[in-house]
């Protein structure tokens, strides 16, 4: 029988039982390959991370699994893993090797405690989404305030702007129909005063609605800057997850299409082990 230890963190929140849950296996070297997806499915969070010694210039290498597949990159797993590893490693900047390249994460501390992190996201392409009319109709929407575009970072997300935060809150998509139509995440957002309200649905990756989506937050900042809603270099605050009882707060800034950062807090809430 082997013992595999893991840590649970709530990410994009500074209090327990909010944000997006993440399990991090801090030393995955002895976990058999065929167990990785099984463990992610058993835990059933949006993502589970397996950490290995660095293969290149990073401080550690990580693999990211949803309940149904492996991803090259995802936002809350990178930020959460930086919080989990940053304490023992005592670094102000952590370089994490992902399937999309090395991601630097700057950590801010209050004394010994890590309180915030900013990750520099890997570059990502974007393009018009070719099934926009079908997707809008499925959501019960007549139009999007900005062009409906696909940003291919991590799971990839189709961005749709609604006219009010109330309209975003009122969405009740048919998840099965959404799964059949769209192989990517569907990210709906609206301005809410000085913030942006968002909901993200990713059924193709085994996640009906995601509580906090770092791989959407960076593209949203770029999308808003490209289309003149904000200026390049403006920092935005995003609220997500309220409708599913996991309120989350994400920050993002796009200084250029090639320079995008996403930030937030995280808290470690549990430690455990599997004996298999």
Residue positions annotated with a catalytic role: 47
- Encode the chain in three state secondary structure: CCEEEEEEEEECCCCCCCCEEEEEECCCCCCCHHHHHHHHHHHCCCEEEEEECCCCCCCEEEEEECCCCEECCCHHHHHHHHHHHHHHHCCCEEEEEECCEEEEEEEEEECCEEEEEEEECCCCCEEECCCHHHHHHHCCCCCCCCCCEEECCCCCEEEEECCCHHHHHCCCCCHHHHHHHCCCEEEEEEEECCEEEEEEEEHHHCEEEECCCHHHHHHHHHHHHHCCCCCCCCEEEEEECHHHCCCEEEEEEEEECCEEEEEECEEEEEEEEEEC
């Amino acid at each position: 029988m082997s013992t595999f230890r893991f840590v649970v963190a709530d990410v994009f929140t500074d209090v327990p039982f909010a944000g997006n849950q993440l399990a991090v296996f801090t030393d995955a070297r002895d976990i058999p390959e065929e167990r990785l997806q099984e463990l992610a499915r058993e835990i059933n969070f949006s993502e589970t991370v397996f950490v290995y010694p660095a293969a290149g210039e990073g401080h550690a290498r990580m693999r990211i699994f949803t309940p149904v597949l492996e991803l090259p990159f995802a936002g809350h797993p990178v930020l959460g893993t930086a919080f989990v590893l940053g304490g023992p490693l005592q670094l102000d900047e952590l370089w994490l090797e992902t399937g999309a390249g090395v991601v630097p994460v700057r950590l801010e501390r209050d004394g010994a405690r890590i309180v915030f992190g900013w990750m520099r996201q890997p570059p990502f392409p974007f393009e018009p989404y070719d099934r926009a009319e079908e997707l809008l109709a499925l959501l019960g929407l007549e139009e999007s305030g900005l062009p409906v575009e696909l940003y291919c970072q991590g799971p990839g997300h189709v961005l749709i702007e609604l006219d009010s935060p109330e309209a975003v809150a009122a969405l009740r998509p048919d998840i099965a129909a959404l799964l059949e139509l769209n192989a990517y995440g569907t990210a709906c957002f609206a301005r809410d005063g000085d913030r942006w309200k968002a909901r993200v649905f990713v059924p193709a990756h085994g996640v009906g609605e995601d509580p906090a989506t770092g791989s959407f937050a960076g593209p949203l900042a770029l999308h808003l800057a490209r289309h003149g809603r904000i200026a390049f270099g403006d920092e935005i605050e995003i609220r997500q997850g309220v409708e599913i009882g996991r309120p989350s707060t994400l920050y993002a800034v796009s200084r250029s299409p090639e320079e995008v950062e996403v930030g937030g807090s995280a808290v470690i809430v549990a430690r455990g082990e599997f004996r298999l």
